[in-house]
Amino acid sequence: MTDGVFDPASLSQAWAQPSKPRPIVIFGAGSIVSDAHFPAYAKASFPVAGLFDPDHDKAQRLAAKWGVTAYRSVEEAASIEDVIFDLATPPAHHAGVLRALPDNAVALIQKPMGSDLTEATDILAICRTKNLKAAVNFQLRFAPMMLALKDAIAKGWLGEVVDFDAWLALATPWQLWAFLMKAPRVEIAMHSIHYLDLIRQLLGDPHGVHAKTLGHPNHNVAQTRTSAILDYGDTVRCALSINHDHKFGRKHQACEFRICGTEGAAYLKLGLNLDYPRGEPDILEIHPKGGSDWVTVPLVGEWFPDAFVGRMANVQRYASGEDTELVSSVEDAWNTMALVEAAYRSSAAPATPIAARP
């Protein structure tokens, strides 16, 4: 807890590394693998055995770049022993890959945990039946700024958290992910799910959600704008305002969180989403309990690739017994999927009508 003067350098920003990491077998060769997984694993010196992608030429090019094997089938990739299986696959393909894995395997599954709650429930059943030690890649929890925020809250520097605001007004290049162009669920399921998952970690599970998610007349992506309120009762206010179609230059774009407590507050800029995938530096500032001004927390890394390092480090350490908790296990991640499902149900339901003039 708080004791003395706030020292921003004392906040934890990194996950402990495994003493003997297992090789990693990756399923998928898309942009998230080339932009985040491989750079993260190289930075952490995590060995990668190889990867599989249905587009074998694409897999070979990426494998050659990183000096790993390009497997020719799911079965070949799944047959590699004593590894961590890293599923960077579209959500509809998770279940098929998981069924091909050997019983008792260790797996990291790309978010979301299936295309909807029905698929998430199927994935949970597969993992239980095969006794898979499986987590979902909600890596925002492991970003240096988020680890530091969580530590600051745990140490009491904000007091009791009573407000959480997420505000995004930016231009997201959805065309980088071809499989999303025809997907029925996009914004909440593929993007804001990160924020909903992080909020669950910090505030617990809400009682419910009010949400509206919609597309934009200038394109055909299913949804790119969302407004949501999470119900935490009469003390905590939690709201998200998300607009991926603010394509009017950088000047008034934003990607930020404001978290207010009874005795302190935090401000975060998620720089990655501004000019993605190049991004801008992340920012964390804290107005600590007992302080008189905002204090900048010097960050030791960025969301990409450092969050992927921490995410895989926890999986590796859990597999070896060095960590006792598997963060965002499929059991916990199912609850994030249930919140996503509730948001879509809320969006599809009629709003409370306004009374007609008498």
Domain shared by 128 and 196, yes or no: no
Domain shared by 154 and 105, yes or no: no
Q: Judge whether 125 lies within some domain.
A: yes
Q: Would you report the helix, strand and coil content of the chain in percent, each value rounded to 5?
A: 35, 20, 40
> How many Å separate Cα 23 from the centre of its chain?
23
pLDDT, tens digit only, all 358 positions of the chain: 666 899 999 999 999 999 999 999 999 999 999 999 999 999 999 999 999 999 999 999 999 999 999 999 999 999 999 999 999 999 999 999 999 999 999 999 999 999 999 999 999 999 999 999 999 999 999 999 999 999 999 999 999 999 999 999 999 999 888 889 999 999 999 999 999 999 999 999 999 999 999 999 999 999 999 999 999 999 999 999 999 999 999 999 999 999 999 999 999 999 999 999 899 999 999 999 999 999 999 999 999 999 999 999 999 999 999 999 999 999 999 999 999 999 999 999 999 999 999 9
Strand partners, 287: 265
Q: Which residues contact 232 (CB under 8 A, 6 or more apart)?
A: 203, 204, 206, 207, 238
The enclosing domain of 105 has a CATH number of: 3.40.50.720
With beta carbons less than 8 A apart as the criterion, state whether 90 and 113 touch: no
Q: Judge whether 237 lies within some domain.
A: yes
Report the C-alpha gap between 240 and 196 in whole angstroms. 9
pTM of the model: 0.95
The enclosing domain of 151 has a CATH number of: 3.30.360.10
Count structural domains, the chain: 2
Domain shared by 198 and 133, yes or no: no
The residue count of the chain comes to: 358
> How many Å separate Cα 66 from the centre of its chain?
25
Q: Judge whether 354 lies within some domain.
A: no
| 128 phi and psi angles, rounded to 5 deg | -70, -45
Other Cβ atoms closer than 10 A to 89 = 24
First and final C-alpha spacing in the chain? 57
Domain shared by 178 and 291, yes or no: yes
Give residue 115's domain range. 24-137+309-329
Q: Judge whether 234 lies within some domain.
A: yes
